[in-house]
Structure 1
Amino acid sequence: MLYPHTACLGAGVIGASWAALLLASGRSVAIHDPAPDAEREVRAYIETAWPTLTQIGLTADGTPDAIRFCASAAEAATGAEFIQESVPERLEIKHALYSEIEPVLAPGAIVASSTSGLLLGDMQAGWHNPAPFVLGHPFNPPHLVPLVEVMGNHRTGAGVADAAAAFYDSIGKVTVRVQREVPGHIANRLQAAIWREAIHLVQEGVASVGDIDKAMWAGPGLRWAAMGPTACFDMGGGAGGLQTFCDRLGDQFNGWCDDLGNARLTPDTIAMMVAGAAEAAGGETREAMQTRRDAMITAMQAALKPYR
């Protein structure tokens, strides 16, 4: 087994989800989070996630009992072979954490950051030697959504990013490689582009928040869950593939791009979208929505598994 002893530093929603997945894979997990109720919340999260992980076939080798809560990040990192860092998205917090754990890292240990938007190079400034450090950005919730974006750079040790990707693959994740630093990595930029246009459509009175969301999950989102947009367009070109698709629709596509909006999250825009989201929810609580979301993701994962 690759890296049987792991640690999760930061145990919010992302860290707790990582812990559940790592435990399900048969690994031990040492956890540190300074929040006073962290242990209670993590145990409750794992208890809730475990039946879902079992349903998608990920708990055959694992137990939720192989968990240890530590008083410090250094204690959790000591002896861990793979460390997933999910502390708040502030450089000063991350730098302080790296400074604390670097002296106790085991030889060959890997530290991966879950950061959604910070740049690897900026985070490396918190290290004396950032050789063991990589980007390992998941999608929420990590125990259900398989994507992990992995990146190393010229300061990352030889083979470390490859080893991190292999580890993620071994616990059921799907990895993509970020080849150049950009804010938001890959998938968050795609999300931002789509949401920016969704906001613009609401601002222009084209459709409601609820109908725009519906247009996504009942249309392109459904096929994008199977294959990405370029592959879908390639099939949309028939026998001629992507070349034919572009020949037929290139001018229209360019026109669509020229007409896209450049929405910004101003206070007025935020208020408009919050009100629209509340109207679309129709009184359903956020907790109920999350439960329903996780159930649908689980069902989709199970249905798609034979085809991956």
Structure 2
Amino acid sequence: MNARKPVRHVAIVGTGTIGGSWATHYLAQGFDVTATDPAPTAEAALRSYVETAWDAAASIGLAPGASPDRLRFTADLRQAVADADFVQENAPERPELKVRLYADIDDATPPETIIASSSSGITMSVIQAECRRPERTVIGHPFNPPHIVPLVEVVGGTKTAPQTIREAMSFYATIGKKPIHLKKELPGHVANRIQAALYREVVHLVQEGVLDVADSDDAVSWGPGLRWGVMGPHMLWHLGGGEGGIEHFMDTLMPRMVASWQELGTPEFTPELKEKIVGGVREEAGGRSVDELAARRDAMLSALLAVRAQYDPSGPPSAAAGHPAQEGP
């Protein structure tokens, strides 16, 4: 593999919700961004998204030189990636599309450029199948919205070079993300599988009439969700073990938890259950639009990140601190 250049120019391929959020984040981090998407209304929708999301991104911190004016758009894929130092792909989740798209991106980009996919369900081993340089392709899967939530799941395919994984991890860490390295490929990666497991039990409880939709949301967001916002489950169990810590928890409380796994439900997702959830969510939303609710979510997430930054030195760096991408040539 060729030596990497400092990343100064990022290409965004696919400008839907995830692509628009990634574009916002990279702009807020002080990069030049070129975006591409074949949809006829893509540019207008992207610029509108960035304008709407900018205040939330700014509340977390802007890097020196950060500006929405550094966004360019072209419908020509080859032109968009021709001089990119890093590519973040966000195309629809269709394997045959991803395979063709990656072959085209691989052919059009400089050979030292890392090509990262935001794919949530397709493995890189599948996506990189027809690339001439598959060693520089990697999954860089964000958690929505990427311009707010720091998590990025990094996992390579069978042909991805270990160097690519290390450099992707390092790059994401320098731009305010919290990358985690998945050592094995699996559909859905990790974070989506965790939330799917939780949601399965939530849906089961709603179906069984144990509680309604709004109360099920409160049971998560006002209980374990609050704790998960500051620590993960293993560390929380360590605290739950008292003076004996995780060893005491594993010896005395874990057996009961393991026994309870057999009681967890597997709901049958019927049309009736679907309507029950839809109706419950509409009632809980109380007439507020999706945009209104998203703005409220993002404001609270930004505030939570600010609080975490005061207490957690291992967290993502502040954008205002700058990163290697902004150094001069």
TM-score (norm 1): 0.96
Q: How does 1:149-298 map to 2 (within 5 A)?
A: 149-298=153-302
Deviations 1:24-61 (A, max 9, x none): 11111111011111111111111112222221113443
Residues in 2 aligned to 1:86 and 1:126: alpha-carbon distance in whole angstroms: 18
Q: Distance in 2 between matches of 1:36 and 1:217?
A: 39
Note if contact 1:2-1:167 (Cα within 8 Å) is conserved in structure 2. Answer: no
Post-superposition offset of 1:242: 1.3
**Matches of 1:171 and 1:251, distance apart in 2:** 41
Q: C-alpha distance in 2, partners of 1:158/1:182?
A: 18
The question of 1:99 aligning with 2:108 is answered no
SS at match of 2:304: helix
Shift of 1:264: 4.4
Q: Offset of 1:192 from its aligned partner?
A: 0.3
Tell me the SS of whatever aligns to 2:69: coil
Q: Report sequence identity in percent.
A: 44
Aligned-residue CA RMSD (Å):
1.5
Confirm or deny: 8 A CA contact 2:125 2:156 kept in the other structure.
Answer: no
Residues 206 and 47 from structure 1, CA distance in 2 versus in 1: closer, same or farther, beyond 3 angstroms? same
Deviations 1:231-258 (A, max 9, x none): 1011110111112112222332123211
Residue 65 (structure 2) aligned to one of 61, 83, 96: 61
Partner of 2:12: 8
1:96–1:153 CA distance, 2 compared to 1 (3 A): closer
Quote how far apart the aligned CAs of 1:107 are: 2.5
Tell me, in whole angstroms, the C-alpha distance in 1 between the residues paired with 2:183 and 2:132: 23
User: Out of 102, 121, 136, which is 2:125 matched to?
Assistant: 121
Alpha-carbon displacement from aligned partner over 1:283-303 (angstroms, at most 9, x marks no partner): 222221111111111111111
1:86-122 per-position Cα deviation (integer Å, ceiling 9, x unaligned): 0000012212211222222112100000011111211
Residue 35 of structure 2 aligns to a residue in which SS? Answer: strand
Of 189-198 and 270-279, deviating more is 270-279
Unaligned runs of 5+ in 1: none
SS of match in other structure, 1:112: strand
- Residue pair 2:89, 2:117 contacting (<8 A) in 1 also: yes
Shift of 1:155: 0.7
Could you tell me how far 1:263 is from its partner in structure 2?
Answer: 2.2
For 1:235 and 1:297, locate their aligned partners in 2 and report how far apart those are by CA, in whole Å.
Answer: 24
Q: 1:118 to 1:39 in 2, by over 3 A?
A: same
Amino acid in structure 2 at the alignment position of 1:66? R
Residues 266 and 99 (structure 1 numbering): CA distance in 2 closer, same or farther, change over 3 Å? farther
Cα distance change, pair 133–196 in 1 and its aligned pair in 2 (3 A) = same
Q: 1:143-168 CA distances to partner (integer Å, 9 max, x unpaired)? A: 00000000114411240011111111
Task: Give the match's secondary structure for 2:194.
Answer: helix
Contact 2:156–2:165 (CA under 8 A) maintained in structure 1: yes
Measured in 2, the distance between the counterparts of 1:39 and 1:275 equals 34
Alignment match of 1:31 (pick from 28, 35, 39): 35
- Which runs of structure 2 are paired with 1:77-92 in the superposition (5 Å)? 77-92=81-96
- Give 1:8's aligned amino acid: I
Partner of 1:50: 54
User: What amino acid is the match of 1:52?
Assistant: A
Aligned to 2:325: none
Deviates more, 1:41-50 or 1:152-161: 152-161
Structure 2, unpaired ranges of 5+: 313-329
